[in-house]
Amino acid sequence: MSDAAPLAFGIAVPWLAGFAVVRALLAWHRDRDTWVEVGYGHFVGVLLVTLVMRCMNAIGMPLAVVPATIVMAIVAVGGLVYAARRSSTDVRGPETTPEPLALRWIAAVALALIAIRLGTLAVDVLLRPLFAWDAWSQWGTKAKVWSSLREIAPFMGYDEWLARTRPGYTDTAPNYPATIPLLQTWMTLVLGRWDDALMNLPWLAAFVALGAGLYGQMRRLGAGASWSIVATYLVLSLPLLDTHVALAGYADLHVAAAYALAVLALAQWEATRARGALVLLASAALLLPLLKLPGIAWIGTLALGTVIVVFGTTPWRMGGLAAAVLAVTVAIGFYFGSGKVTPDAAATQYRIVESLLQHLYAFGSWNLAWYLVPLTVALAWREALALKATTVALACGFAFLAWTFFFTQAGDWVVDYTTVNRALLHIAPAAIAYAALLAHARAARPVVQTAAVPVSSAMTQAAAADAGREVA
Amino acid sequence: MSVPEVGTGRPSLRAIAVLAWIAAFAVLLAVTALIAGPPPGAGDAPPLTRTGRQLVPNNPNARPQGDAILVANRREAPLTILAISQQPLRTADYGRLAIDAEPLPPGVEVALLWIRLDQPGKPHDQRIPTDSRGVLEPALLDRDAAWSGDVTLLALGVKGPMERPWMLRSVSLQPITTGSVIGDIVRGWRAFERWDGRSINVLFGGRDEQRAWFPPLAFAASAIAALAVVVVARRRRVRVGPAPIIVAFLIGWLALDVRWQLNLVEQARSTVAEFGGKTWEQKHASMEDADLFRFVQAARARLPADPVRIFVNSDLEYFRRRAGFHLYPHNVLAYSWAEPSQLRPGEYLLLYQKADVRFDTAQEELLWANGRRLDAKPLLVQRGAGLFVVGPKGGR
């Protein structure tokens, strides 16, 4: 129990600083939403604490808890004071009609299941040392060195290490971004000793924060409380996502969470043009390339979505942007597949398809996610078109995955059951939240078009506005 | 939203969604069992049942106790064979093995063994699955290609030294039925999927190999339930609201999630049993690389406090990388390097299960099978593992 206080401190300090930053940024645009601030705030806090540590290292200071805490406390106080001075009120979507009793019951069950899930995952996070291969061979290695030396010692490739041209360490992924190991370093410094189980508590915090952020954004987009809880449950109950919490130590959970929150912020910005949404989009998206190299591709899809919101209203512009999407996707594919592009034989492609179908539709990694996402898009295609920037961003993400699976070495990782699901995990929470949003809007679509549409009004108004501009 | 059905006395569309899902799932499961099981009519022989006392052991590890048999494998004799039948029987008549016994002691496994008439010198076996408490589950044999033709010997193999005796009450070989195939499918879904090296990449949803996977059946039941809701709504001349359709698909999701949640609860229990109340070092000393961890801890005690450059090697990539992980923050190279001349005097070397390297105590040199040599002084040596510091002559 003596570890409880430092662990709580290690989680709370960055989270509070991130919360204050998001609150301040929203207040700047006269916006406020506690759920969203809690959810997005956690990930902004992760960004902050690791940036502070990078700055300390850059100026030659040893990594230490007290100076980093002082900086984050200043940020937290500054953010909260600024937000308090800007009068703003909680933003919600338009009031919804009362939700059906059945949905409310389902939401209650979902909430209970989330609570049980949190408890069972906490056991593994708190007790199990680093278990999964990459967690101890390429992420935890750096955390162990940096927390022990109290500096961000460089990591390099094997050949460079053997050549002894400069001091430094080596492991299997020396070029990977430092954010995840720095987060573990922070927890280790706070704890005061190396413990490769307890240092992973931020993974459980990320699970909670993702839930809070999803719920808050669903509410801002007009969904009622019950449907927002159900949508959050659908994401948090994904078996592979839960596994990445329990067997903590990989970056994929954080990538998935940041991307999902960014996509929902994009959807909100597209539907409402609220500047607060743009702030949330930026805060989540900035983390992506700092977590893992494919984060560059994910932030690319969000950038395209952003461009479409700003410019993509006429067919010509949409066509041009679609071409740009294609070009950028292919370029990113080539970038990541440099030297790995393998236009395989049809037999290999068949094996990839066969394996992919097993992973998506037969095995237990995804529940019914990959059945329901396309089904929902097909049934709610009008709503999908109303959210064209979000739709294109996600479509671009799937195109990126398809490219890597079918035209690079990653095809082998589909067939041998390794990376395929981890790659899908990056986009799965975003896709499910998007589908939940479409389902909600589709359910609220009026029979008579002139009737009042409280729930999806933002989306339909956006579509109508686009149509009006095109006519003009 | 749907037009409310007021005072009709009929089940609501949401209730129909639930009932239709259950009915559809049951029918789909039965149809799948018919398709995935043996052809109809196969296996109509009477069950072949033996009490524990009737089994014939091959050694004194086993002795009758009442109608049962008590097996107590010793460390020096960790295998007991219990003959079920030495009379010829047709495999086509049977396909299900049920064993009534106590939960197995930890580390012990049971397999059905048989010898076919057409392959007299060749034993075949199929391991009998257990649940998370070690209770033997019924096993279906029809998917084992070796279970064919006539069998001349049928036996149970009980392998592994036991910390306590194990009681087996009866064994029954039965014809396979659609019901037993359904049972096998459901047991495949319920099988505890413990964390292993693959879990971070893929979850199978029960056993790795299954006759039928749960998600497609759950989705098909949801789709049928949704259709049923639409049909009933049309007959009642009411518009279908979103809620019944959503309920139809959420039930499928919930069914899958309850299975997953039960697995997580079981996993949490297992994790607490494995790591609860232990320090960081004690946890690692109980993991699968415990021997390596203890050796590396001992090696670290012989190394300087400040980080040193240390080369690690092993024939097994897992041990090489784990040793590297345990050695950080020393400056480790856990890559499979092959050239001893890359080591400089004063640097360190840790070898673990490296078959092609031996230490020449007379010359104080490490010798590679390909003739390479490294001047090295041993700091810690145990069977199959050693820590060395490179001497002034280095490698050649």
- Express each pLDDT in A96-111 by its tens digit: 667 878 888 899 999 9
Q: B353 and B245 in one domain?
A: no
Higher local confidence (pLDDT), B356 or A152: A152
Q: B247 and B212 in one domain?
A: yes
- The per-residue pLDDT for range B88-135, each reduced to its tens digit, is 888 888 889 999 999 999 999 999 999 999 998 899 999 999 988 889
Give pLDDT, residue A2: 81
- The per-residue pLDDT for range A190-230, each reduced to its tens digit, is 999 999 999 999 999 999 999 999 999 999 999 999 999 99
Q: B190 and B169 in one domain?
A: no
- State how far residue B334 is from chain A, nearest Cα, in angstroms: 7
Asked if A250 lies within 8 A of B202 by C-beta distance, the reply is no
- State how far residue A320 is from chain B, nearest Cα, in angstroms: 37
Higher local confidence (pLDDT), B395 or B194: B194
Task: Enumerate the residues of chain B whose CB falls inside 8 A of the CB of residue A442.
Answer: 242
Task: Enumerate the residues of chain A whose CB falls inside 8 A of the CB of residue B347.
Answer: none
Q: Is residue B87 situated within a structural domain?
A: yes
Task: Enumerate the residues of chain B whose CB falls inside 8 A of the CB of residue A195.
Answer: 280
Q: B252 and B160 in one domain?
A: no
In chain B, positions 237-266, which contact chain A (CB-CB < 8 Å)? 239, 241-243, 246-247, 249-250, 252-254, 256-257, 259-261, 264-265
Q: B362 and B310 in one domain?
A: yes
Contacts of A153 (CB under 8 A, 6+ apart): A145, A146, A167, A168, A169
Give pLDDT, residue B32: 95
Confidence class of residue A469 from pLDDT cuts 50, 70 and 90? very low
B313 touches chain A (CB under 8 A): no
Written as six digits, the tokens of A352 are 């990839």
Say whether pLDDT at B2 is over 50: no
Asked if B328 lies within 8 A of A363 by C-beta distance, the reply is no
Examine the fold and report which residue of B146, B175, B204 is the final residue of a domain before the chain moves on. B175
| Total domains in the fold of chain B | 3
Asked if A129 lies within 8 A of B280 by C-beta distance, the reply is yes
Nearest-by-Cβ selection for A117 from B219, B261, B275: B261
Give pLDDT, residue B343: 93
Q: Which of A61-65, A150-154, B87-91 has the lowest mean pLDDT?
A: B87-91
Give pLDDT, residue A93: 58
- State how far residue A136 is from chain B, nearest Cα, in angstroms: 6
Q: B159 and B203 in one domain?
A: no
Give pLDDT, residue A428: 98
Task: Select the residue from B19, B203, B229 to test the A interface by mutation, using most A Cβ atoms within 10 A.
Answer: B203
Asked if A117 lies within 8 A of B14 by C-beta distance, the reply is no
Asked if A171 lies within 8 A of B334 by C-beta distance, the reply is yes
Give pLDDT, residue B83: 94
Please give the ipTM for the structure prediction: 0.90
Q: Is residue B8 situated within a structural domain?
A: yes
Element (H, E) at A170: strand A169-170
Q: Is residue B6 situated within a structural domain?
A: yes
Q: B146 and B186 in one domain?
A: no
Asked if A129 lies within 8 A of B283 by C-beta distance, the reply is yes
Asked if A361 lies within 8 A of B202 by C-beta distance, the reply is no
Q: Is residue B284 situated within a structural domain?
A: no
Of all residues in chain B, the one with the smallest CA distance to A170 is: B333
Give pLDDT, residue B361: 87
Q: Is residue B281 situated within a structural domain?
A: no
Cβ atoms of residues A16 and A261 within 8 Å: no
Rounded Cα–Cα distance for residues A265 and A283 (Å): 10
- The per-residue pLDDT for range A243-256, each reduced to its tens digit, is 999 999 999 999 99
Say whether pLDDT at A76 is over 80: yes
Higher local confidence (pLDDT), A90 or B114: B114
- The per-residue pLDDT for range A258-308, each reduced to its tens digit, is 999 999 999 999 998 888 899 999 999 999 999 999 898 899 899 989 988
Q: B58 and B171 in one domain?
A: yes
Give pLDDT, residue A92: 63
Share above pLDDT 70 across residues of chain B, in percent, rounded to a whole number: 96
- The per-residue pLDDT for range A392-445, each reduced to its tens digit, is 899 989 988 998 888 877 888 888 888 899 999 999 999 999 999 999 998 877
Give pLDDT, residue A94: 59
For the beta carbon of residue B332, count every other beta carbon within 10 angstroms: 28
In chain B, positions 343-362, which contact chain A (CB-CB < 8 Å)? none
Share above pLDDT 90 across residues of chain A, in percent, rounded to a whole number: 69
Cβ atoms of residues B77 and B59 within 8 Å: yes
A189 touches chain B (CB under 8 A): no
- State how far residue A311 is from chain B, nearest Cα, in angstroms: 34
Size of the A and B interface in Cβ pairs below 8 Å: 188
Give pLDDT, residue A365: 97
Give pLDDT, residue A462: 41
- ∠ CA A430-A431-A434, rounded to 5°: 85
Say whether pLDDT at A173 is over 90: yes
Q: Is residue B43 situated within a structural domain?
A: no
Higher local confidence (pLDDT), B42 or B136: B136
Examine the fold and report which residue of B276, B302, B321 is the final residue of a domain before the chain moves on. B276
Q: Is residue B202 situated within a structural domain?
A: yes
Asked if B249 lies within 8 A of A372 by C-beta distance, the reply is yes
> What is this structure's pTM?
0.90
Q: B199 and B186 in one domain?
A: yes
Q: B310 and B194 in one domain?
A: no
Examine the fold and report which residue of B248, B276, B304 is the final residue of a domain before the chain moves on. B276
Q: Which of A321-325, A456-460, B69-73, B256-260 has the lowest mean pLDDT?
A: A456-460
Task: Select the residue from A7, A116, A371 to test the B interface by mutation, using most B Cβ atoms within 10 A.
Answer: A371
Give pLDDT, residue A453: 39
- State how far residue B209 is from chain A, nearest Cα, in angstroms: 10
Give pLDDT, residue B33: 93
The boundaries of the domain holding residue B297 are: 290-395
Asked if B215 lies within 8 A of A243 by C-beta distance, the reply is no
Q: Is residue B90 situated within a structural domain?
A: yes
Task: Enumerate the residues of chain A whose CB falls inside 8 A of the CB of residue B306.
Answer: none
| Cα–Cα separations (whole angstroms), residue A443 to A219, B109, B300 | 16, 54, 63
Confidence class of residue B1 from pLDDT cuts 50, 70 and 90? very low
CATH of the domain at B90: 2.60.120.260
Q: B388 and B362 in one domain?
A: yes
Task: Select the residue from B229, B253, B330 to test the A interface by mutation, using most A Cβ atoms within 10 A.
Answer: B253
Q: B199 and B117 in one domain?
A: no
Nearest-by-Cβ selection for A158 from B280, B322, B335: B335
Give pLDDT, residue A53: 98
